[in-house]
Amino acid sequence: MTDVKRGYVRPLDIKQGRVDMSHGSGGRMTAQLIAELFAVAFANDYLGQGDDGAVLPAAAGRLVMSTDCHVVSPLFFPGGDIGCLAVHGTINDVAMMGATPLYLTAGFILEEGFPFADLKRIVDSMARAAKEAGVPVVAGDTKVVERGHGDGVFITTTALGFLPEGVSLSGSRARPGDRILVSGTLGDHGMAIMAQRESLGFSSPIVSDTAALHGMVAALLASGADVHVLRDPTRGGLATTLNEIAEQSGVGMMIQEPALPINREVAAACELLGLDPLYVANEGKLVAVVAGEDAELALAALLAHPLGGRAAIVGTVHEDSHHFVQMTTGFGGRRIVDWLSGEQLPRIC
């Protein structure tokens, strides 16, 4: 029997407290942050092992792994926040390979002075998104950087998924005669973020589309349609994604402007800022390139899914040694839908 008292540790002051350098020191404060904030939110058996790495049951067959860094300003936006975005974004990368996402890891870089209340909101949102997706966060890490060396919080997530036998999706598999589908309206996420930025000074009802897509992918593959390529058109929007696929597959594409699903509010905000919705980011949409004869089958599968209500067939793949992505405009003309050069910036007149 010893008479040394167990050290009393005052719980984290989630309401008023802020991250300081000691929370990244690796000492008691770090352990406390992990225990009281992260472990509580993400609680699962693998994370609960508490060792340097999580021991996971191995699946026989092929695995898909993908990692994604998330930096977004503002951290909270209509329809989501950096937390759920960090879960959805990485799960979606794995899903676009046709794989079933199994596990996630998360790395946090926190800026000194970041309020615990905001951190908790983000971590809870992440935990909720992971739970809804059925993909546990099994390992993680936290570091703290000095004030001014970060932007509140940066999150890196890695996802590991299982690739069923017979599934083979790649950006290099688009063939002449294939049809191009999108699973819903374009540009919602990017415009939700942009409308939120302080300097714009207009309020908008636009909501980010951030969502995990593996359920819709599973439904699409289960339909039996011969799917060649899946991609999520995130940064750079649909235009960039189609150019990537055209280049990788060595083909040309022709999309039809009137077929593109775009929310009225997004179209209006783009009009106001001189932006093109084809280049604006999505976080809950996919592009599918499907064998021509299976296009209607694939469309029906997307439309039947809760996230695919405004899915549409928007174009076709053809031979073109220049790998141009072109569009027939609603006006009756034709133009190239080029790679984005640099960041899309508002025009002055």
Binding residues with other proteins: total (CB under 8 A):
29
Applying CB under 8 A, does 199 fall inside the site for other proteins?
yes
Applying CB under 8 A, does 250 fall inside the site for other proteins?
no
Contact 185, 259 (CB under 8 A): no
Applying CB under 8 A, does 322 fall inside the site for other proteins?
yes
What is the rounded distance in angstroms from the CA atom of residue 309 to the CA atom of residue 302?
A: 7
Tally of CB atoms within 10 A around 12: 17
Applying CB under 8 A, does 7 fall inside the site for other proteins?
no
CB nearer to other proteins: give 5 or 264. 264
What type of residue sits at position 322?
H
Applying CB under 8 A, does 203 fall inside the site for other proteins?
no
How far from 58 is each of 17, 95, 165, CA to CA, in Å?
41, 19, 16
> Which pair of structure tokens corresponds to residue 311?
């899915």
Judged by CB under 8 A, the stretch of 89-97, 176-184, 198-206, 290-298 that binds other proteins is: 198-206
Applying CB under 8 A, does 8 fall inside the site for other proteins?
no
Question: Which among 105, 91, 217 has a CA at the least distance from the CA of 164?
Answer: 217
| Burial tier of 2 (Cβ tally within 10 Å: 0-12, 13-18, 19+) | exposed
Judged by CB under 8 A, the stretch of 82-90, 165-173, 185-193, 327-335 that binds other proteins is: 327-335
Applying CB under 8 A, does 330 fall inside the site for other proteins?
yes
Judged by CB under 8 A, the stretch of 10-18, 109-117, 226-234, 335-343 that binds other proteins is: 335-343
Applying CB under 8 A, does 205 fall inside the site for other proteins?
no
Q: What is the DSSP letter of 307?
A: G
Cβ 335 to other proteins shortest distance, Å: 4
Cβ 258 to other proteins shortest distance, Å: 8
What type of residue sits at position 195?
A
Which string of x and - marks every residue 255-284 that binds other proteins (by CB under 8 A)? ---x-----x--xx--x-x-----------
> Which pair of structure tokens corresponds to residue 128?
């909720």
Can you say whether residue 79 is alpha, beta or left, with left for phi > 0 and alpha for psi between -120 and 50 degrees? left
- How big is the CA angle at 177 (ends 171 and 181), to the nearest 5 degrees? 60
CA 129 to chain centre: 12
CB nearer to other proteins: give 10 or 264. 264
Applying CB under 8 A, does 349 fall inside the site for other proteins?
yes
Tally of CB atoms within 10 A around 199: 4
Applying CB under 8 A, does 10 fall inside the site for other proteins?
no
Applying CB under 8 A, does 6 fall inside the site for other proteins?
no
Applying CB under 8 A, does 348 fall inside the site for other proteins?
yes
Kindly tell me which residue out of 141, 293, 319, 338 binds other proteins, with binding defined by CB under 8 A. 338
Phi, psi of 96, deg, nearest 5: -65, -15
Applying CB under 8 A, does 326 fall inside the site for other proteins?
yes
Q: What is the DSSP letter of 242?
A: H
Applying CB under 8 A, does 328 fall inside the site for other proteins?
yes
Applying CB under 8 A, does 334 fall inside the site for other proteins?
yes
Q: Counting every residue, how long is the chain? A: 349
Angle between helices 116-133 and 82-95 (to 10 degrees): 30
CB nearer to other proteins: give 20 or 151. 151
Judged by CB under 8 A, the stretch of 70-78, 135-143, 171-179, 194-202 that binds other proteins is: 194-202
Contact 283, 88 (CB under 8 A): yes
CB nearer to other proteins: give 97 or 270. 270
What is the rounded distance in angstroms from the CA atom of residue 316 to the CA atom of residue 181?
A: 9
Cβ 193 to other proteins shortest distance, Å: 15
Cβ 212 to other proteins shortest distance, Å: 31
Binding site for other proteins (CB under 8 A): 199-201, 258, 264, 267-268, 271, 273, 322, 324, 326, 328-336, 338, 341-342, 345-349
